[in-house]
Amino acid sequence: MAPHIVELRKIDLIPRSLASLCSCRSGSNFRHGPTLPTLTTVPNLHKFRFKLQANNNGARGVFTIHRGVLAKHGRRVISAVARAEQPEQIDDEEISNEEVKRGTQLPLEGSLDSEHQHKTGQLKKRIIFGLGIGLSVGGVVLAGGWVFTVALAAAIFVGSREYFELVRSRGIASGMTPPPRYVSRACSVICSLMPILTLYFGNVDVSVTSAAFFVAMALLLQRGNPRFAQLSSTMFGLFYCGYLPCFWVKLRCGLAVPALNTRLAASWPLLLGGQTMWTVGLVATLISISSIIAADTFAFIVGKAFGRTPLTTVSPKKTWEGVLAGLGGCIAISVLLAKILCWPTSVLSATAFGFLNFFGSLFGDLTESMIKRDAGVKDSGSLIPGHGGILDRVDSYIFTGALAYSFVKTFLPLYGV
């Protein structure tokens, strides 16, 4: 029969307590360590099988008692322990606390080290993948044309899938009715086709209007009870994931006027397109993307080190200190690249372009943060290690393309470059 294990902290308490209960016969099988005091006889002790183990300072004891005997005499043993002297209990508690401290100190230090290693690994992974994405995007922007458009279409498809998964998440779906899956999948395909149609036809208005009409009909004619929440979330998805990113195609590929003042174009290899490749659209796209990257970088570094004043409850980690640093970095990079690329020629225009890019990136980031907050998730996906999903990386660019295109197309011709 398996014995019960009773752990007691005083090897000198139990013998005295048991001795105070009654007297014992000499035929016991009680075994003790060298520091154990002598016991008087306890009646029926031959029915007990005690095994006492003590450490060096005699602070612990383990008694092994058969199950049946424990059920019959356990109350007497517990009562004896309860009548221990108070000073001995205090000393034993102090010893116990020291043992707990010694036992938890190393695991606590180990957990802190592992957490630090995890954060360091995440930061390294974020930097490595960030550099890889930056180089890839730079090559795609320089290539332009169908390479740029197809790459943008692929990113739009993945981003739109992430958006509709956020809409279907528990946090949002608990307060509204999400669109059916076949509608959200069809919308993702339509959104990915919009930049291709924009490059082919030169505008996106007709394709967006036609897509909105067919999607609305599919929702209204579905089985069951159509809801307005389905229509509103789907239409916003077409606008947010499809229509707005198409302005990057119009900016990069639609503004094909050569940037004649750009000195870099004169020395550009003919094999890579020559001087004619450097158009206003390419220069404006490079300045806009570079200034957004600078804004995110400056805002992250300064906000992490000196951020104290929260910007908004939509994104609690954003601070006014980080926002001001991001604005300064965005304008500085815009003016610097304008000087290098000789476009725009006016410092005032370059500064205004930097302002526009920054506020477009800021409100694009806040919009995606609002969606994720309602969805109850930290990241829109896990496609990019250390960065999250596609939407987490391109949220700053969604509104900026339309603002940058409007600035170059409308504002600069009116007031001069």
Pick from 79-93, 152-166, 212-226, 389-403: least confident: 79-93
Tell me: the pLDDT tens digits for 191-207?
A: 999 999 999 888 888 77
Between CA 24 and CA 44 the distance in angstroms is 7
Query: Domain extents for the chain?
Result: 4-88, 137-415
- Mean pLDDT of the residues in the chain: 76
Burial class (CB in 10 A: 0-12, 13-18, 19+), 151: middle
Tell me: the pLDDT tens digits for 276-294?
A: 778 899 999 999 999 999 9
User: Whose structure tokens read 């995440």?
Assistant: 122
SS3 400: helix
Structure tokens belonging to residue 315: 């994104």
**Average pLDDT in the 328-349 region?**
92
The answer to whether the pTM exceeds 0.85 is: no
Between CA 188 and CA 174 the distance in angstroms is 23
Phi-psi sector, 286: left (phi>0), alpha (psi -120 to 50), beta: alpha
To 10 degrees, the CA torsion angle through 159, 164, 166, 170?
-160
Structure tokens belonging to residue 25: 């016969």
To 10 degrees, the CA torsion angle through 144, 150, 156, 159?
-100
Q: Does residue 266 carry a pLDDT above 90?
A: no
What helix, strand, coil percent values describe the chain, rounded to 5? Answer: 70, 5, 25
User: Whose structure tokens read 């020559």?
Assistant: 274
